[in-house]
Amino acid sequence: MDIKEIRNAARALAKGSCRVCPVCDGRACAGEVPGMGGAGSGAAFAANIAALASLRLAPRLIHSVRQPKMGISLLGLSLSLPLLIGPIGGIGFNLNGAVSEEEYQEAVVDGALQAGIIAGLPDAVNPEILRTGLACARRRGGKGIPFIKPWEPEPFEEKMDLAAAAGCALVGSDLDSVGLVTLTRQGHPVYPKSRRDLARMADMAHSRSLRFLIKGIMAVEDAIICLEAGVDGIIVGNHGGRVLDYAPGGAEALPAIATAVSGRMALLADGGIRGGVDILKMLALGADAVLIGRPYAIAAIGGGAEGVALYTQMCREQLEQAMVMTGCADVALAGPHLLFPGR
């Protein structure tokens, strides 16, 4: 099995709900939400791709870097490279039932573990989606990161209990899901949170010995509030361009946020990352690690756990080559000096 075979298999199973384009840039699926597209015009999805494409790495070839260090420790996790699988739920209605929810979650959880990384587990109106992911993680010693929607306190706490019972060490909340039209259409909208709300959510996690992540931060002010509220880490990104048309790309928002909070909390980023070179670009902008979403959905649908592990191996090889070509000995040493011209 190779990447081309995986993509061909995924294209056949998706039956047009995802075209599995040569470049996953949101053009063919603009406005397809539900589906795999971006909201409205698709401009926010496109902005993720364009923001990364505008960056150039600075080649440096006079150095002694041969086998760069790619492994990291992050929020109690030991990862073979600075990469997590983003949580994607609702495979049934987003991808015409290409595979079952359980098959998908099993593939991403197992494939991630085979590759030495970890998968995010999605939440949704249908409680079985989170329960399915947590069951997969529980059978593997809690190896998964549940991302709970920012529900009202009681259901949020109930799902936090489920995450702790599954043995997870880290839990997140995708705050940017407040803009998801699918939740509103199903009669379960979610709303923004106050500083006090965030502190309460973080306390819920910490009282259960869980570390806590907030996903979807795009403003410096919001990043600082998360830090002050006791949140352990944030993920900079625009929910794959699925919640606010004409939002900037994640790579556009990241540098200012990194200047404000880097070193004081874990800083992750997502949005338009398609391989190892993009990973290094995000690290150069200040991220400690990144998340990849849609490409892993394709890998899991077309190749199961093997497809997920294979895609991760491709990212690893590309990241290693990019680090050698830029003289970066350790992902922890990545910074703006890797970009051309320096930012």
Share of the chain above pLDDT 70, in %: 99
Helix (H) or strand (E) holding 269: strand 266-269
Confirm if 261 and 62 have CB atoms less than 8 A apart: no
pLDDT for residue 343 is more than 70? no
The whole-angstrom separation of Cα 146 and Cα 49 is 26
> Is residue 39 domain-resident?
no
- Domains contained in the chain, number: 1
pTM attached to this predicted model: 0.96
> Is residue 63 domain-resident?
no
CB burial of residue 342 (10 Å; 0-12, 13-18, 19+) = exposed
- pLDDT of 254-276, one tens digit each? 999 999 999 999 999 999 999 99
CB burial of residue 293 (10 Å; 0-12, 13-18, 19+) = buried
- pLDDT of 7-53, one tens digit each? 999 999 999 999 999 999 999 999 998 899 999 999 999 999 999 99
> Is residue 109 domain-resident?
yes
> Is residue 265 domain-resident?
yes
> Is residue 334 domain-resident?
yes
Q: What was the pLDDT predicted at 342?
A: 56
> Is residue 43 domain-resident?
no
Domain range holding 224? 72-338
How far is it between the farthest Cα atoms of the chain?
59
What Å distances lie between residue 136 and 18, 102, 104, 180, 338, CA to CA?
25, 8, 10, 25, 39
Q: Residue 90 is part of a domain; what is its CATH number?
A: 3.20.20.70
> Is residue 183 domain-resident?
yes
> Is residue 281 domain-resident?
yes
pLDDT for residue 126 is more than 70? yes
